[in-house]
Structure 1
Amino acid sequence: MPQKSEFVEYLVEMLQPLGTIRVKSMFGGWGFYADERFFAIVADDGFYVKVDDVSRGEFEAFDLKPFRYEVRDTKATLDYYEPPAAAMDDREMLCEWARKGIAAAERAQAKKKPRKKKK
């Protein structure tokens, strides 16, 4: 497992008011979990919070940009947006935006069908 960067460690520290934050290495970046809800990513030296149809408009109203990547000839945009730049130095503000990601993760989890138990 790659070592966490200072940036990832900084974010984990900043997000402590949200409870236990777990990070997992994934696809050259990091996934952030709060109580097993996948709510944010770090990729390309940026922090991105999960959005959905409920929260996307609020991010777009601040002219915040989604995470985009390109692999070979394929371009993709994910449902993760950067919080305002000012939030990166303000714990309360960063947690406020991260809570929106946690709420989006909760809504996504609620939509999933429960898995059948194996006998």
Structure 2
Amino acid sequence: MAISPSFVDHAVDLLSALGPVQARRMFGGVGLYCDGLMFGLLDGDELFLKTDGETRPWFLEAGCRMWIYPGMYETSYYRPPDEAHEDAEAMLPWARLALDAAVRAQAARGAKARAPRRAGAKAR
């Protein structure tokens, strides 16, 4: 679904209290980045934020809807509560949860890359 430039600007403004937020087009949508980490996405003029096992319960408790990739692929991205979409102060806690999840995901990827290979294991 198309994303209007005005919605991209609105989302970046809404999330700017988190820090410098950049929007980058990708796969027909827009990725939202802060400190080089993707923590959100835009699809069809809707904002979705990254979650993980630690932050997802907050989104579920608030009744947030999961972003499902076309073709029914479930993701870790959820739409924040409606009241957060018009007020940067109300959005900030949700954005922080998303950035925290992105930081943990990056740390986990880094730990995997640094993990020693077992003896006899073949490189991929």
TM-score by length of 1: 0.86
Partners in 1 of 2:48 and 2:19 — Cα distance? 18
Greater fraction helix: 2
Gaps in structure 1 of 5+ consecutive residues: none
Among 90, 97, 101, which residue is 2:98 paired with? 101
Partner of 1:55: 55
Shift of 1:4: 6.1
Q: What CA deviation, in whole Å up to 9, does each residue of 1:52-97 have, x standing for no partner?
A: 00011111011111101323xxx21110000000001111111211
The question of whether the paired residues in 1 share the 8 Å contact of 2:51 and 2:97 is answered with: yes
Partners in 1 of 2:70 and 2:4 — Cα distance? 23
Deviation >3 Å, runs of 4+: none
Between 89-98 and 100-109, the greater mean CA deviation after superposition: 89-98
Paired residues for 1:1-119 under 5 Å: 5-71=5-71, 75-113=72-110
Shift of 1:113: 2.8
Q: Give the aligned residue type for 1:113.
A: G
The count of aligned residue pairs is 112
Partners in 2 of 1:94 and 1:18 — Cα distance? 9
Greater fraction strand: 1
Q: Secondary structure at the match of 1:64?
A: coil
Partners in 2 of 1:15 and 1:62 — Cα distance? 19
Partners in 1 of 2:69 and 2:44 — Cα distance? 9
Partners in 2 of 1:36 and 1:104 — Cα distance? 13
- The higher radius of gyration belongs to 2
Q: What CA deviation, in whole Å up to 9, does each residue of 1:12-52 have, x standing for no partner?
A: 11222211111110111100000001100001221000000
Q: Give the aligned residue type for 1:78.
A: T
Gaps in structure 2 of 5+ consecutive residues: 115-124
Partners in 2 of 1:78 and 1:3 — Cα distance? 19
